[in-house]
Amino acid sequence: EAKHEAYGLEKVVQHAHARTRGDLTGALATYIPELARVDPERFGIALVSVGGEVVGVGDVEVPFTIQSISKALAYCLALEAAGRDRVLAHVGVEPSGDAFNAIVFDPHTNRPYNPMVNAGAITVSGLLAQALGAEAFDVLLDRFSAAAGRKLGFDEAVYRSEAETGHRNRGIAHLLKNAGALEADVDATLDLYFRQCSILVTASDLARMGATLASIGENPLTGATVFAVEAVRGTLSVMFTCGMYDFAGNWAFDVGVPAKSGVGGGILGVVNRQLGIGTYSPRLDTKGNSVRGIAAFRELAEELGLHIFDPT
Ligand code: GLN
């Protein structure tokens, strides 16, 4: 029997929230004004089990932009839409140890290291733009919505700001094009990338998305089949090795579950065949990961025995 059933999941989550809420270190993302304006005090933890149990503590219904968490779900979609071989020919699956926005490719392949850093994610957006054409964003938003089990919205102001100020990402896209990793039109690719980053989610949505991945592509609350089994396997693999950027090794060591963070303050975690976990707290550490999100995951992993290599 899983530990969480014996302890009562709700109590464990309340305890994790109470133990970590006092950590006010870190800073809001400020690269666009919209992110600098959010309420830094917000903090929510949500869990959804593959059996359909739902727990939420704190600000689990506050919307924020998904940002880099979109990279994981977009990769899953690309594995389906473009096919595994084509995706692997354009983006690697090696952890880079570099910051999320690093301008560096794998010297052996001249391809981005992995789909969880910007260079790889922009390449994935290009594959989706090519495979799905003008409908790409609608298809992606529908699929993200099915994973969350509700119709998700999109933050127009964040999208505009990202598109107007995203010169580093534009630079990366042009270098990808030059290297041959990106075949699609640069502007169409970046438009999809900036849009997917601007999708609005809550911690509850992230938990339901996580539960959809945990139950190998089937949303346990709606019963809908959202992602193909092989695509989920590939996605969880890169989330495990690369999902927390240059903190991925520490995360795998301490928390030990596939996860993806975003500069909007969210973290999505997946306990394979058991749980989806979503946290929201917008103060970030210097690597761009949510400070209290990491702390909450550490607590939960400890209390619930979530680490993939835990003996029980
Ligand atoms: N929109 C952000 C960017 O591309 C997303 C980065 C992130 O969440 N780490 O820079």
CB count in 10 Å sphere of residue 29: 19
Residue where the block lists tokens 């903090």: 43
71 catalytic residue (yes or no): yes
Q: Strand pairing partners for 49?
A: 275
> What tokens were used for 107?
């010297």
Amino acid found at 88: L
DSSP bridge partners of 64: 201
Calculate how far, in angstroms, residue 261's C-alpha sits from the geometric centre of ligand 1. 10
Asked if 166 and 122 count as a contact pair (C-beta separation under 8 A), the reply is no
CA-closest residue to ligand 1 atom 2? 67
Q: Which of 193, 201, 226, 257 is catalytic?
A: 193
Domain 3-66+199-304 classified CATH 3.40.710.10? yes
CB distance 1 to 131 below 8 Å = no
Which CATH architecture does the domain made up of 69-197 adopt? 3-Layer(aba) Sandwich (3.40)
Measured in Å, residue 242 CA sits from the centre of ligand 1 at 15
Intrachain domains 3-66+199-304 and 69-197 with the same fold: yes
Q: Which of 57, 60, 71, 177 is catalytic?
A: 71
Residues with CB under 6 A from ligand 1: 67-68, 100-101, 118, 162, 169, 197, 262-263, 288
State in Å: Cα 296 to ligand 1 middle.
22
**Among residues 108, 111, 250, 262, which one has the least CA distance to residue 193?**
262
For the CA of 68, the closest atom of ligand 1 is: 8
Tokens of 269: 């975690």
Q: What is the pLDDT of residue 7?
A: 57
Q: pTM to 2 decimals?
A: 0.96
Bridge partners of 111, per DSSP, are 106
At 312 the pLDDT is 73
**Mean pLDDT per 10-residue section of the chain, whose length is 312 residues:** 63 97 97 96 98 97 98 98 98 94 95 97 98 98 98 98 97 98 98 98 98 98 98 98 96 98 98 98 97 98 96 80
Q: Which of 49, 68, 161, 198 is catalytic?
A: 68
CB 75 within 8 A of CB 220: no
Q: Is the ipTM of this complex over 0.85?
A: yes
List beta partners, residue 270. Answer: 276
Residues 154, 156, 158, 159, CA torsion sign:
positive
Q: Kindly give the distance from the C-alpha atom of residue 118 to the centroid of ligand 1, in angstroms, as a whole number.
A: 7
3-state secondary structure of 57: strand
Give the residue, out of 30, 65, 100, with the most ligand 1 atoms within 8 A of its beta carbon, to mutate for a pocket test. Answer: 100
Task: Report d(CA 33, CA 223) in Å as an integer.
Answer: 39
**173 phi/psi in degrees, rounded to 5:** -65, -40
Phi-psi label, residue 17: left if phi above 0, alpha if psi -120 to 50, beta otherwise? alpha
159 part of the active site: no
Residue 245 known to be catalytic: yes
pLDDT of 5: 52
Sorted by where each begins, the domain ranges of the chain are 3-66+199-304, 69-197
